[in-house]
Amino acid sequence: MFFGEPTPIRMAKLAKEDFRKCDLLIVAGTSLQVQPFASMINLVPGYVPRMLFNRDPVGLRGDFDDGYGFLFGHEANYRDVCVLGNCDDIVGKFAKQLEFDKELKDLKSRYVKPKMTTLYSP
């Protein structure tokens, strides 16, 4: 979601349904500042593990008015994991550990456009 962009009605409806069914929530590359998406991390059931792949810890308990959020480092935390760094690097490491690196490489080759190199000649 981009700041100021309205949430599509279909997305909000499906998010409630999908988040209740998920087995693992991975949140990556976000400030979790834009509502309603930011509070959607709280839509998963209380037993579902939640992982944040990000440069900074965000979405912490107390950041939201509703009293919910990640509990990294808190004694009551039993499901939240924070992995800090570059999202591409983190995902690559997890994919390798899970022996999913070939599939990830195939997905990237189909959906990620190569970076353009600009040549400058004075």
Cα–Cα dist 88/66, whole Å: 31
Number of structural domains the chain divides into:
1
pLDDT in tens, 51-104: 999 999 999 887 666 668 899 988 889 999 999 999 999 999 999 999 999 999
In this prediction the pTM is 0.79
Q: Is residue 88 part of a domain?
A: yes
Q: Is residue 121 part of a domain?
A: no
Q: Which domain holds residue 71?
A: 9-111
Q: What is the CATH number of the domain that holds 98?
A: 3.40.50.1220
Q: Is residue 47 part of a domain?
A: yes
Residues 6+ apart with CB under 8 A from 12: 36
Residue 87 parent element (H or E): helix 87-97
pLDDT in tens, 16-51: 899 999 999 999 999 988 877 788 899 999 999 999
- With vertex at residue 38, the alpha carbon angle to CA 10 and CA 40, rounded to the nearest 5 degrees, is 55
Q: Is residue 119 part of a domain?
A: no
**Residue tagged 């990556």 (tokens):** 28
Q: Is residue 120 part of a domain?
A: no
Q: Is residue 116 part of a domain?
A: no
